[in-house]
Amino acid sequence: MKEIREAIERAKASDSFASARHERRAAPQVRVASKLGPLPAGSHAPESRIDAAQEFELDAAHLQSKRIVAHNYMDAQAVPFDMLRTQVLQSMDPKEWKVLGVTSPSPGCGKTLTAVNLALSIARLPEKTVFLLDLDLRKPQVANVLGFRPRDGIMSVLENRSTLRDAIIQARIGDIRMAILPAESRASRPSDWMASSSMSGVLQKVKQDYQSSIIIVDLPPLLSSDDVLAIVPRLDCMLLVTAVGTTTIAEIKESSNHLQSTELVRIVLNKAPRSKSEYYYYS
């Protein structure tokens, strides 16, 4: 693990990485716009089905409150995610990999923040399309950080209560679009579902229908359960998100050992302090 430790130390010491300021703000009430028109200020997203043919307008103020910034190329805080995007795609494109899993050793490392910002950064590229899949069945957060409350999602599809088409949301902000399959609620028996043939079928269908897209899968923390290990064989590569003050070198080593059967394209180091601010680095 000497190489991993040295890579993280180089990232912390380098001045070449731009920063994304870690601001804690009170999240406002969710405001979402769709083809049906915007909700009144202070309203919550309705508990109704959103058809995949509909566009779902994301609210910029809500995204900012959740530190989702990569949709705005003019925002300096988006630069680290753009740099991460470039490095990840340089690893994936030559091997024609399409499915990237995003995990962390433990909770609180910012894996969903990284997954969503990376997805939006890739979606900004004219020649790329993105499919974002929330497979953190224990604590789904993708819908929350993007500002909508789905009625249907991955569990509805797995339990045959909804079709895949009905559960997919076509989200848009400005001219950026991406498809999202959220997890609508915490699942019972998540490990069983992750290893199920139903899950294999859903992933195969997504790969088939979105074969030209980069598929980013937000996964649960790696060391908290066997959920990630069950799904790793169905993914092309992995991104491991760590955090200063949260992740230990021992956890990085253990995580790397668990991921030996797949390609680990990058290790992200979040919340590395410098001066009076907090920065996001990656190695």
pLDDT, mean of residues 55-81: 92
Give the pLDDT score at 185.
Answer: 83
The DSSP output letter for 40 is P
Residue 283, CA distances (Å) to 4, 7, 13, 17, 103 in order: 8, 6, 11, 10, 15
Give the pLDDT score at 8.
Answer: 53
pLDDT, mean of residues 208-216: 96
What strands lie across the sheet with 176-181, from one edge to the other?
33-34, 55-57, 169-173, 176-181, 130-134, 214-218, 99-103, 237-243, 263-274, 277-282
If you average pLDDT over every residue of the chain, what do you get?
A: 82
| Structural domain for 180, as ranges | 2-38+47-282
H or E element, residue 180: strand 176-181
Contact assessment for residue 269 and residue 242, using Cβ atoms and an 8 Å cutoff: yes
Banded model confidence at residue 2, pLDDT cuts 50, 70, 90: low
Residue of 193, 262, 266, 264 whose CA lies nearest to 234: 262
Per-residue pLDDT reduced to its tens digit, 162-179: 999 999 999 999 999 999
- Give the domain CATH number at 30: 3.40.50.300
H or E element, residue 237: strand 237-243
**Whole-angstrom distance, CA of residue 199 vs CA of residue 203:** 6
pLDDT at position 244 over 80: yes
Per-residue pLDDT reduced to its tens digit, 4-56: 555 455 544 443 333 333 333 333 222 333 332 333 333 333 333 444 445 68
Provide the domain count of the chain: 1
**Whole-angstrom distance, CA of residue 19 vs CA of residue 77:** 6
Give the pLDDT score at 271.
Answer: 83
